[in-house]
Structure 1
Amino acid sequence: MPIKAMIAEDEHLAREELAYLIRQEEDVELCPGAEDGQQLLELYRQYRPDVIFLDIEMPKRSGIDAARKIREESRDSKETPPLFVFTTAYDEYAVQAFDLEAVDYLLKPFDPERLHEAMARVRKALRLSRAMSEESEADPPLEKAGDRRQNDREKPPSPFSDPKLRSSKLLVEDGEKVVVLDPKTICYAVRVNRRVAIHTEKEVVYAKITLQELEEKLRNHPFYRSHRSYLVNLDYIKEIVPWFNGACNLILKTKEDTKIPVSRSAVKPLFELLRQY
């Protein structure tokens, strides 16, 4: 099935150059292009492209503003929004582009190899979009701290801000032995079949425990349930990289730069927590 692509670019030569490069990709079908942000909205509603190559600075409505509007309409209609590849002559807009979960960011003049790399990212995102979307929707709603205390008044509030209240050791069963772990050395934990693989700075412990039980044991420490299968130590987060469909990836401070998924429903609470932490 071909990838439906649309170009939104007010400069004729740049639009023709980009269209030429995209046509070199065998699996891409070009939709009619837009010359300004308002025309883009109209054409998007008509053709529903999979990916939009979007110039940031355009007349009538900027690319950033048009992308926000498209995402709002997609959310209201409960449709998957298109992928965005932003194009510009200036790299100062990169942060704004990635705030909108752009799959890539191309600088003018366009480099054929970079365009090819961008299309590889687009293909990967499209392949994974359905699976990630279904898994995100299956995630249980995140419990707010206030709701947790109301449902179980015997549990104290999370004491992230008070290191004195944090227990110093964690005991977990690994096979026939009990392993003693320092929570500060745990990078992340991931559910593996009926066990939880606890990745520390030096080893991996396969614990006879559920991820929910481990989360409860670590509730006095800075851990966050980024995904229904992952629990991550906030102290090990190095970067947050937008992925697609509102989700993102965490890059951890490990030798391998471990990548941890953050489901769509967990992104906003994560940022709020990091700002307070």
Structure 2
Amino acid sequence: MSGGRWKVLVADDEPLARARLRALLARHPEFELTAECGSGAAVLAALRDGPADVLLLDIRMPGLDGIATVEALAREAPWSRERPPCVVFVTASEEHAIRAFDLDAVDYLVKPVDIDRFDRAMRRLLETLGAPSRTPDAGALAAADAALRAALQALRGDAPAPAVDAAGGAAAHARNGAGPEDGYAKRFVIRDAQGMYFVAVADVDRVEADGNYVAVVAWGRRHLVRESLHVLAARLDPAEFVRVHRSHMVRIDRIRRLEPCGHGEYELTLADGTRLTSSRSYREQMRRLLR
């Protein structure tokens, strides 16, 4: 960070695309544009001259493309820092999305980049950059290792997989730490720039759709899971959570007030002051709460 602002490098072989990102970035005073590049090779050279906190990388560039650039950075490590730059890929196609997230990209923006979508990516970057580097104790590491081993065994079929429904699937069940006694998730596995950590379902106030992610809100903090709300909702106990909207699901005991709005809709006030409006599509779920 320089002068209290995070350093950003933008890379795209199209000058107009760089100008667009430059204009969008200028709306976020927490970030400072320090370099612009037109190729992957130029990115490597720029990072050898000086570190960056964030890379906004086009995937399709001449020579070394965006993904190959990140792979090269992992090998060369030209920065003298505790952690590498956070990466947001920007591209005209979604075909490389899975590979991008395999490289621990913070986000993946599709051209033409929408203002609101760019703003969400900046919020995710701030959450990631602001997260303290934590060194878990031996017990936490052992627990995490055991959970990940169990998930991998279930996915490979080395151990009996827990029961799942068509909406969820075994992979989501394993990723979300379902308990064998009832099939519902007990924790979420959250990935960030430093690795992975757990959020207990018992601490979750609500979950909401956020682009290609679901935001899990616990203790006032948003934790992003790369999953659809439809799949994640199937892992939550309906005795504890209720779906009130296509984009929102809330813990029942966090609801403090319900006000009818007509047409089967309700305005909900949660314990932390958050206000949501249910949709008519989920009016039956709301009615069950009142019985």
TM-score (norm 1): 0.53
Report how far residue 106 of structure 1 moved.
Answer: 1.1
Equivalent residue pairs, number: 179
Q: 1:118 to 1:241 in 2, by over 3 A?
A: closer
| RMSD value, Cα | 3.8
Q: Which residue of 2 aligns with 1:127?
A: 130
Q: Which residue of 1 aligns with 2:181?
A: 184
Q: Contact 1:5–1:31 at 8 Å: present in 2 too?
A: yes
Supply the AA of the counterpart residue of 2:181. K
Q: Which residue of 1 aligns with 2:279?
A: none
Q: d(CA) in 2 for partners of 1:120 and 1:127?
A: 10
Q: Which residue of 1 aligns with 2:93?
A: 90
Q: d(CA) in 2 for partners of 1:44 and 1:118?
A: 22
Supply the AA of the counterpart residue of 1:119. M
1:99 to 81, 102, 118: 102
Q: d(CA) in 2 for partners of 1:103 and 1:162?
A: 30
Larger radius of gyration: 1
TM-score (norm 2): 0.51
Could you list the runs of 5+ residues in structure 1 that have no partner in the other structure?
A: 146-158, 164-181, 191-225, 232-239, 259-277
Task: Report which structure shows greater RCO (CA 8 Å, sep ≥6).
Answer: 1
Q: Which residue of 2 aligns with 1:198?
A: none
Q: What are the superposed Cα offsets for residues 76-115 of structure 1, whole Å, 9 maximum, x if unpaired?
A: 9773111111001111111111111111111111222211
Q: What are the superposed Cα offsets for residues 162-215 of structure 1, whole Å, 9 maximum, x if unpaired?
A: 99xxxxxxxxxxxxxxxxxx933153556xxxxxxxxxxxxxxxxxxxxxxxxx
Could you list the runs of 5+ residues in structure 2 that have no partner in the other structure?
A: 150-157, 163-178, 188-195, 202-211, 216-223, 242-248, 251-291
Q: Contact 1:74–1:80 at 8 Å: present in 2 too?
A: no
2:52 to 49, 52, 68: 49
Supply the AA of the counterpart residue of 1:56. I
Q: d(CA) in 2 for partners of 1:95 and 1:38?
A: 23
Identity %: 32
Q: Which residue of 1 aligns with 2:70?
A: 67
Give matches, 1:95-244, under 5 Å: 95-128=98-131, 130=132, 133-136=133-136, 139-140=140-141, 142=145, 160-161=159-160, 183-185=180-182, 187-189=184-186
Q: Which piece of structure 1 moves more, 90-99 or 136-145? A: 136-145
Q: Which residue of 2 aligns with 1:19?
A: 22
Q: Contact 1:75–1:81 at 8 Å: present in 2 too?
A: no
